[in-house]
Structure 1
């Protein structure tokens, strides 16, 4: 489900053509971020990372999540219980694959990040699991020059 064709969303602040996105992203990044693909479970670079820092959108650099909200869900992808700021992501209904899910998009560039699930019983303050593709993120460890 490509966000580029959804007219119900507010316009992204960063708007690039598919060709511009392809030149900026690797083929794998483009597939996930711009075409809503999913990376295979348990292979992502941040699945088991416990480094403190800030996770940003790999496509546009917007801060999305912080390590303080990351938790181990054993689902195969990085999991967070809340975004860094409520305006950092957009949630929208996703009825692909014959099931109802809630897709998570970067609010700044509308890149596909993953999905959010509720009521699974995780011991987190929100009872939500933002299940995010590692390839959609870039981690800036605490104390790095990016802060």
Structure 2
């Protein structure tokens, strides 16, 4: 089994496209409204594009109209890492894959969405792959 946290930067560059590398390994952001999963309602499991680790499920996805796919909860408490991000002159909480520590997006709270958690995991489509399958709530 690969320990993705030990993969060197050169290998990540070979495994990922330049756009994927920019978002996943350099904490970039895809332009709003351009991601393939922003408006997807297909049932399934979202996995990290870098390592295949399960990160989100379609059952927790909701339409926030923010320009990126939104979820109110990750697939499990240990599936993502959240850490404070003070870049760009603001305080945000970055969301990373718990398996390979690739950048997925950010999580915001208190925005008033009618979800069970009042959280919005704002995730780059390019950081995920959707495995279409039936998902239990």
Normalising by the smaller structure, the TM-score range is over 0.9
Runs of 4+ aligned structure 1 residues displaced above 6 Å come to none
TM-score by length of 1: 0.88
Q: Secondary structure at the match of 1:19?
A: helix
Q: Aligned to 2:8, which of 3, 17, 22?
A: 17
The count of corresponding residues between Structure 1 and Structure 2 is: 132
User: Structure 1: 5+ residue runs without aligned partners?
Assistant: 1-11
User: Structure 2: 5+ residue runs without aligned partners?
Assistant: none
Instruction: Give me the whole-angstrom Cα distance separating, in 2, the residues matched to 1:44 and 1:20.
Output: 25
Q: 1:42-93: per-residue Cα shift (whole Å, max 9, x none)?
A: 0001000000000000000000000000000000000000000110000000
Instruction: Give me the whole-angstrom Cα distance separating, in 1, the residues matched to 2:47 and 2:129.
Output: 5
Cα deviation for residue 41 of structure 1 reads 0.2
Q: Is the aligned partner of 1:82 residue 2:93?
A: no
Q: Secondary structure at the match of 2:131?
A: strand
Please show how residues 1-147 of structure 1 align to structure 2 within 5 Å.
14-142=5-133
TM-score by length of 2: 0.94
Instruction: Give me the whole-angstrom Cα distance separating, in 1, the residues matched to 2:5 and 2:96.
Output: 13
The alignment's C-alpha RMSD in Å is: 1.0
